[in-house]
Amino acid sequence: MKFKAMTAIAALLLAPAAFAGGADDDVLVINGEIEMTTKADAPAHLDGALDQVISGWHFRADETQQLETDDFENQGMIFVDQAIDQWNTAAGSEGKSCADCHGAPEDNMAMVTATYPKYDSDAGELQTVQMQMNECRTERMGADPWKYDSGAAVNMEALIASVGRGTPVQVAIDGDAAPYYEQGKEMYYTRYGQLELSCANCHEENFGNYIRADHLSQGQINGFPTYRLKNAKLNGVQSRFKGCIRDTRAETFSPGSDEFVALELYVKSRGNGLSVEGPSVRN
Amino acid sequence: MRLTAIAAAVTLVAGVAHAESHSGAVAPEDVQYGETGAVATSLSGMPGDAANGQVVFSTKSMGNCVSCHAVAQLTDVPFQGEVGPELTWSGESRSEEELRGIVANAKMSFDGTVMPAFYKTNGYIRPGNGYTGKAAEGDLPPILTAQQVEDVVAFLLTLKEQ
C-alpha cells in the first residue's frame, strides 16, 4: 500500500496547473426568454456518484456556447425547419400527416422529450421518441419506418425537443422502466474494449478534465439531438454512444439496439432536473 | 539517431503492434509483477530506445499516452491531456522497474485505475478491431510490443527537472 499512498502524494504535487478545467459559470438563456437550468442538484438515484448534474453546454468554448443562445445562430434550427415541413406533409398509404392527428407540435409535444424513453404498455416495451414516431408511421400512417438515427428521424426528434426546451428532464425509472434502467446502469459502468474504459471512467470520474483536445463533460443527453460543428448536422443520442464505445477500441452496439435503448434511459435519468436543451450546439 | 528515426517511421507506417520474434521477449501472460506492480527485467530482453519511446508516447495508434498525460518537455505536442498525472518528473520519481510495470499493466500498481493496460492480450469485454467499432478477429495483440514498452520506459526515464 505504500506505493499507492506515495502515488497519491505525487499526483497532488504534479497536478497540472495549466488548464482552467471544470464547468464554467455562464448562464444560458435562449432567444432572450427561455431560461435554462444547466446545473441542478443530482437526482436521488445518483447518490454517491455525482452531487451536481451539469449540461454539456458548460464545457464548450464561449463561441460555441454563444451559438445556442439564439435560434437564428443555432444551425440546428435549420433542420428543425425541415422537420416542420415534414410534420405538415402527408405520407404513407393513409394519406395522413403528423399534424392531422397531433395539431401543432408546440401544443401537444412539449412534454415528450422530458419524459422519453418511456414504457409503452400497449407495445409492451420501453420506447424512445424515435421508436414512438415509427409506431405512428407504420401503424397509423401506413408509411415506412425511419432508419434509426437517420436524418429524417433525428430532425423530427429535434423539432419535438425544441418545443420542450426549458422543461426539466423527468424520465421515470421505476415500475416497468426499472429493468431497462438497471440494464443501462450496468452498461454505464462496464469497462468496454481493449482500452477497458466505461462511460463512468470518462464522464463521471473525469468530467472537467481534458482528454487530449477534448474537454470532458458529464456526457449528458438533455441537449440532444446535438448540432455538431464537426459534421454540420444533427446527431442522435445513440450514434453518440456508438462513437464513444468505438473509441475504447471495442466492438460497439448499433443505434436502435435493445442495449442502446436501455442505455438511453439510464443516461437520460442522470440528467433528471436539467432543462431539455435540444437541438443544442456542440463541437 | 538516424537509425532510430527510420525505425520510428517504420513503426508508424505499420501502426499496429507486432509480436516480438527474438528469443529474449517475455509473452504478455508470462510477465512477473512484484507485490506493488513493478516488473524487474526488460520485457524484450533489450534496452529501450528513448527517441522511439517518445514517438510511441505521442502517437494515437500506439501508446497515445499524451491524451491523458502532460509532459512539459514535449513542447511541440499540442493538447496534452490531464486525466492522468503530469509526467514531467517521472525519471526522478519512479524507478525503471516501477515504470515498466505501470506501462505494461497499470492495474497491477493502481487498483481499478482508468489507465489502460498496454501489454496484455485477454480479459477484455467486447474487444474491437482497433478503432473500427467492429469485433476483433481472433486474439488481439497487446497494444504495444515488448520493445515499445521498453522504449516508452526509456523515454519516461529521461523526464527530469531541467
Closest CA to A21 of A156, A211, A228, A220: A211
Q: Which residue of A has its CA nearest to B137?
A: A251
A93 and B CB contact within 8 Å: no
**How high is the pLDDT of residue B161?**
80
Q: Does residue A76 surpass a pLDDT of 80?
A: yes
Average pLDDT over residues A54-77: 97
Residues of B with CB under 8 A from a CB of A: 36-37, 66-68, 70, 78-83, 85-89, 93, 98, 109-111, 114, 116-117, 124-136, 140, 143
> Which pLDDT band holds residue B15 (cuts at 50, 70, 90)?
very low
Q: Where is average pLDDT lowest: A127-141, A204-218, B23-37?
A: B23-37
**How high is the pLDDT of residue B24?**
77
Q: Does residue A85 surpass a pLDDT of 50?
A: yes
- Number of domains chain A contains: 1
CATH of the domain at A157: 1.10.760.10
Q: Which of B68, B93, B127 sits opposite A251 (nearest CB)?
A: B127
> Which pLDDT band holds residue A247 (cuts at 50, 70, 90)?
very high
**How high is the pLDDT of residue B2?**
38
Q: Does residue A5 surpass a pLDDT of 80?
A: no
Q: Does residue A64 surpass a pLDDT of 60?
A: yes
Quote the domain boundaries for residue A59.
Answer: 30-281
> Which pLDDT band holds residue B162 (cuts at 50, 70, 90)?
low
Cite the active site residues of A. Answer: 244
Q: Does residue A191 surpass a pLDDT of 70?
A: yes
- For residue A39 the three cell numbers come to 446545473
- Contact list in B for residue A250 (CB cut-off 8 A) is 124-128, 133
A15 and B CB contact within 8 Å: yes
Residue A101 annotated as part of some ligand binding site: yes
Q: Does residue A9 surpass a pLDDT of 60?
A: no
CB atoms within 10 A of CB A59: 24
The 8-class DSSP code of residue B73 comes to T
Q: How far apart are CA B124 and CA A21, in angstroms?
A: 31
Give domain status of residue A21, yes or no.
no
Q: Which of A14, A191, A213 sits opposite B125 (nearest CB)?
A: A191
Best A247, A249, A263 member to test B by mutation, with max B CBs in 10 Å, is: A249
**How high is the pLDDT of residue B139?**
86
DSSP code per residue over B19-31: ---STTPPPGGG-
DSSP code per residue over chain A: -HHHHHHHHHHHHH---S---S------EETTTEE---EEEPPGGGTTT-SEEE-GGGGS-HHHHHHTT-TTT-THHHHHHHHHHHHTS-BTTTTB-HHHHH--HHHH-TTHHHH-SEEETTTTEEE-HHHHHHHIIIIII--PPPPTT-HHHHHHHHHHHHTTTTSBP----SGGGHHHHHHHHHHHT--BTTTTB-HHHHHTTSTTSEETTEE------TT-SEEETTTTEEE-HHHHHHHHHHTTTB----TT-HHHHHHHHHHHHTTTTSBP-PSEEE-
Give domain status of residue A13, yes or no.
no
Mean residue pLDDT of chain A comes to 93
Q: Which residue of B has its CA nearest to A200?
A: B114
Tens of pLDDT, residue by residue over A228-238, are: 999 999 999 99
CB pairs under 8 A between A and B: 107
Q: How far apart are CA A257 and CA A149, in angstroms?
A: 11
Higher pLDDT, B139 or B95: B95
Q: Does residue A195 surpass a pLDDT of 70?
A: yes
> Which pLDDT band holds residue A13 (cuts at 50, 70, 90)?
very low
Q: Which of B110, B131, B136 sits opposite A247 (nearest CB)?
A: B131
Query: Whole-prediction pTM value?
Result: 0.92
Q: Does residue B43 surpass a pLDDT of 80?
A: yes
Contact B83 A211 (CB under 8 A): yes
Average pLDDT over residues B106-115: 97
Q: Does residue B146 surpass a pLDDT of 60?
A: yes
At B77 the three-state DSSP class reads coil
Q: Say if CB A265 and CB A173 are below 8 A apart.
A: yes
> Which pLDDT band holds residue B138 (cuts at 50, 70, 90)?
confident
What's phi and psi for A108, nearest 5 deg? -120, -5
A279 contact partners, CB below 8 Å, separation of at least 6: A74, A76, A77, A79, A80, A158, A161, A162, A223, A224, A225, A226, A227, A234
Tens of pLDDT, residue by residue over B80-99, are: 999 999 999 999 999 999 99
Nearest CA-CA distance, residue B52 and chain A, Å: 21
Closest CA to A259 of A16, A122, A250: A250
Closest CA to A264 of A224, A206, A215, A229: A224
**How high is the pLDDT of residue A22?**
81
Q: Does residue A4 surpass a pLDDT of 50?
A: no
Average pLDDT over residues A54-70: 97
Contact A14 B86 (CB under 8 A): yes
Mean residue pLDDT of chain B comes to 88
Give domain status of residue A223, yes or no.
yes
A47 contact partners, CB below 8 Å, separation of at least 6: none
Q: Could you give all domains of chain B from N- to C-terminal order, each with its CATH number?
A: 2-158 (1.10.760.10)
**DSSP-assigned beta bridge partners for residue A91:** A96
Percent pLDDT > 90 in chain B is: 80
- For residue B30 the three cell numbers come to 508470462
Give domain status of residue A2, yes or no.
no
Q: Where is average pLDDT lowest: A8-12, A258-262, B146-150?
A: A8-12
Give domain status of residue A3, yes or no.
no
